[in-house]
Amino acid sequence: MKFTSAPSPNHDVRTLPISLLVLHYTGMKSGKAALAHMRDPASKVSAHYMVEENGHVFKLVEEDRRAWHAGVSSWGGETNINSASIGIEIVNGGHDYGLPDFPDAQIKAVIRLCRDIMKRNGISNFGILAHSDIAPGRKQDPGEKFPWAKLADAGVGIWPDVKTKDPRLLFGENTSGKGIAILQTALAYLGYDVQANGKIDAHTRCVIRAFQRRYRAEKIDGLIDVQTLEILTLLARYTKKKNEGATGVG
């Protein structure tokens, strides 16, 4: 895949095998501004790649180096996400600039880039993550407009084939009990950083919002309704099959 080399000084030694691919939006006024920011030594921020709206790709950091894109984050119990991942910044103003749509040319380039990276590094579809997945209390990117289903159709990531639109609320705010602990355990099983304390506390709501932003973007409220539960249940089943070594999922 063609790209323009735009080296960033913001990287160091990778200390873990690559197993994750994290997608971000730049959240800045323009791609030019984002590129300059990631190439500024004072920013202490970088990513391996940046994809412009027109699909043009910039390479900032070699894949065998640790780019500084994830910040304080966690997935599957691992907190050194920068060392375990490759980061792609997708040019988009984000929530601070009206959360623009992602152009088709850009998404096609993101898909091609992701597939190349996955093939080179042996990253599974279960290792394709949003920045909001790994840092649900801090981040919302790449945001609820990002077309995760389209990526999954092209072999990048997973997408739950849930038919129900049932909006009935199962557990409201500040609910507690064994049922909540089971839900928290399922979210943690997928990889989210949440403890099974049996309470829908502030952090758990952040995690549920991140989950909804990724898999059910039309309603992001941090509460468990029937549809959210069914999506979670199906993804847990996918993950279980993956962990048991089954083929044909994702």
pLDDT tens-digit series, residues 70-84? 999 999 999 999 999
Is domain 169-243 given the CATH code 1.10.101.10 in the classification?
yes
Find where tokens 């790649």 sit. Answer: 49
pLDDT in tens, 89-137: 999 999 999 999 999 999 999 999 999 999 999 999 999 999 999 999 9
Please name the residue that has the structure tokens 């389209």: 150
Q: Which of the four pLDDT bands, split at 50, 70 and 90, describes residue 207?
A: very high
Q: How confident is the model at residue 88 (pLDDT cuts 50, 70, 90)?
A: very high
Closest listed residue to residue 136, CA positions, set 66, 236, 205, 200: 205
Q: What is the mean pLDDT of the chain?
A: 95
SS3 category, 201: coil
Cis peptide upstream of residue 142 (ω within 30 degrees of 0): yes
Query: Where are the domains positioned within the chain?
Result: 4-153, 169-243
pLDDT at 163 over 90: no
Positive or negative, the Cα torsion across 184, 114, 93, 10? positive
Cα 192 to Cα 211: distance, rounded to the nearest angstrom: 9
CB 105 within 8 A of CB 89: no
Known catalytic residue at 89 = yes
Which tens digits make up the pLDDT trace of 25-63?
Answer: 999 999 999 999 999 999 999 999 999 999 999 999 999
Considering the candidates 53, 78, 89, 244, report the single residue annotated as catalytic. 89
Q: How far apart are CA 71 and CA 208, in angstroms?
A: 20
If DSSP codes are grouped into helix, strand and coil, which group holds residue 190?
helix
Please, what CATH class does the domain formed by 4-153 belong to? alpha beta
Residues 202 and 209: their CA atoms lie apart, in Å, by: 11
Residue spans of alpha helices (H) in the chain: 31-38, 81-84, 104-121, 131-134, 148-153, 178-190, 202-215, 226-243
Q: Which of 162, 163, 181 is nearest to 171 (CA)?
A: 181
**Could you count the other beta carbons within 10 Å of the beta carbon of residue 64?**
11
Confidence of residue 173 (pLDDT cuts 50, 70, 90): confident
pLDDT band at 246 (very low <50, low <70, confident <90, very high): very low
Q: How confident is the model at residue 249 (pLDDT cuts 50, 70, 90)?
A: very low
Residue 88 · residue 51 · CB < 8 Å? yes
Contact 146, 100 (CB under 8 A): no
Please give the helix or strand (H or E) that residue 87 lies within, else none: strand 85-90
- How far is the C-alpha of 250 from the C-alpha of 239, rounded, in Å? 9
The lowest-confidence range among 90-94, 175-179, 227-231 is: 175-179
Higher pLDDT, 162 or 250: 162
- pTM here is 0.95
> What is the phi-psi region of residue 11: left when phi exceeds 0, alpha when psi lies from -120 to 50, beta otherwise?
beta
* DSSP class of 176: B
How far apart (Å, rounded) are the C-alpha atoms in residues 152 and 107? 12
